[in-house]
Amino acid sequence: MPRRYLKHIMPDHKTMREHPHLQRFGQRLAEPKLWHLNRRSIAFGLALGLFVGFMPILGQMFVAAALAIVIRVNLPIAVMAVWITNPITMGPIYFIAYQTGAAVLAMPVDEHTFTMSWEWFTHEFLSIWQPLILGSFILGTAAAILGVLFVRICWRLIVIRNWLKRYKNKNGD
């Protein structure tokens, strides 16, 4: 079953509860639903992490952790899924999000150059924030839906494969 594999690769929930950055959540981390390895918890944990990962916000891991605690989905999966946007994928993902948002808002896609300065933030970012946020929301929602479907389909296929394997072993085929 997928559960065995996930138990093998995921950190122990006791270790996670004792992590210095997660201790601020206190007793809320003792909630068993945050650590369950079932189809629903993993699917919605992945969906939450993917959605938050597409949002252009700081502290995505902390936001995903806090929302996973509130919504009561698998915490480690939600936190790991935000890494869909990492230093390598962040540029292309946010560029596609900007293009998507601009297309929905019927705005022209302008060429923007990025420089790490306050001047860029106050001038350039103010002209792209609306299509960027809308595109990020659209792509995050699509990724969340696809993530749920992916987990549920894969989980079901693995369960069916295991049933067939047991049936063949039982009948001596």
Q: What domain range is 105 assigned to? A: 2-171
Cα dihedral across residues 9, 13, 17, 22: positive or negative: positive
Q: What is the pLDDT of residue 170?
A: 80
Would the pLDDT of 1 be above 60? Answer: no
Q: What is the pLDDT of residue 25?
A: 67
Q: What is the pLDDT of residue 5?
A: 66
Task: Please check whether residue 96 is in contact with residue 139, taking contact to mean a CB–CB distance below 8 angstroms.
Answer: yes
Give me the phi and psi of 157, to 5 degrees please.
-65, -40
Round the average pLDDT of the chain to a whole number and report it.
83
pTM: 0.79
Give the mean pLDDT of 48-60. 93
Q: What is the pLDDT of residue 22?
A: 67
Q: What is the pLDDT of residues 121-166, one digit of tens each?
A: 777 777 788 898 999 999 999 999 999 999 999 989 988 998 888 8
Q: What is the pLDDT of residues 8-34, one digit of tens each?
A: 666 666 676 677 776 676 666 667 677
**Who wins on pLDDT, 36 or 91?**
91
Task: Please check whether residue 22 is in contact with residue 56, taking contact to mean a CB–CB distance below 8 angstroms.
Answer: no
Give the mean pLDDT of 72-100. 90
Other CB atoms within a 10 A radius of the CB of residue 42 amount to 25
Give me the phi and psi of 36, to 5 degrees please.
-65, 140
Would the pLDDT of 75 be above 80? Answer: yes
What is the percent of the chain with per-residue pLDDT over 70, rounded to a whole number?
Answer: 77
Would the pLDDT of 94 be above 80? Answer: yes
What is the percent of the chain with per-residue pLDDT over 90, rounded to a whole number?
Answer: 34
Number of domains in the chain: 1
